Amino acid sequence: MFVIFGILVEHFSSADILPILRTTYTAFDLATKQDDGILLPTLTDIISKTEKHNLIQIKNILPIYKGNEYVKEIIQKIITLSEMQVNTTIQHLIAKNVLTTADIKTLNNKISITYILGCDKIKGSYTIQQSINTNNDIVNTTLENIILNVNICFDYFYIKSLPNYVQQITVHELGHYMYYFKDTNPQLFVQKCRKKNKMICSKKDFISSYAQS
């Protein structure tokens, strides 16, 4: 018997770093966007200062409409920066002995980045597969995928915040990975704030309602 277990979760995102811009793009908007001489140099500079690690392969899911040549160049640089930042974040976790080489093998080709046109607050997801025996005991857990969402946003302050944003959603999703695959007693965590399926911890003890849940 197999159970597919997936949760959509709200992440730290551009909305936590900046005001919510709620910008969306039509094909016309993207076709007419011109180089302002600011965004491309800013992205190039950030990329040049970002650590370079090739620990895992990442799958990129591109937006359907790629726009003109300027838009395509912006998208490509956001992809490059996002991939680099995910690997840099993982390297930092290895240095802190949070992740191991065995974890890197598990995560390789399991992290996807979906690129979405716009600047709105977004969500991400992870999926695991669990095998359950006749007593409903979990006997095996397998990671299917982790999806990180990154916005394609033509805003200077969003671009400047992008490395921090990607780091935050990467750490957030890997926190779920840690819970299912590294924690020797995950139920202990649940029992801290739940008693007979009722929440017993106060909201003020958490950074958000999602964290409390």
pLDDT tens digits for range 156-179: 999 999 999 999 999 999 998 998
**Helix, strand, or coil (residue 75):** helix
Would you say residue 131 has pLDDT above 60?
yes
Would you say residue 6 has pLDDT above 70?
no
Considering only CA atoms, give the Rg of the chain.
Answer: 19
Rounded mean pLDDT, 129-151:
87
* Amino acid letter for position 104: I
Nearest to 20 by CA among 163, 118, 166, 147: 118
Distances (CA, A) of 95 to 91, 92, 172: 6, 5, 18
Predicted confidence at residue 7, as pLDDT, reads 40
When mean pLDDT is compared over 129-143, 155-169, 170-184, 187-201, the highest value belongs to 155-169
Integer Cα distance of 155 and 160 in angstroms: 9
Domain chopping of the chain, boundaries: 2-182, 186-213
Integer Cα distance of 136 and 59 in angstroms: 34
Predicted confidence at residue 81, as pLDDT, reads 97
Integer Cα distance of 73 and 35 in angstroms: 10
Distances (CA, A) of 119 to 20, 68, 157: 7, 19, 11
Integer Cα distance of 34 and 68 in angstroms: 9
Integer Cα distance of 136 and 124 in angstroms: 28
Predicted confidence at residue 115, as pLDDT, reads 94
Percent of the chain past pLDDT 70, that is, above it, reads 87
What's CA 139's distance to the chain center, in Å? 28
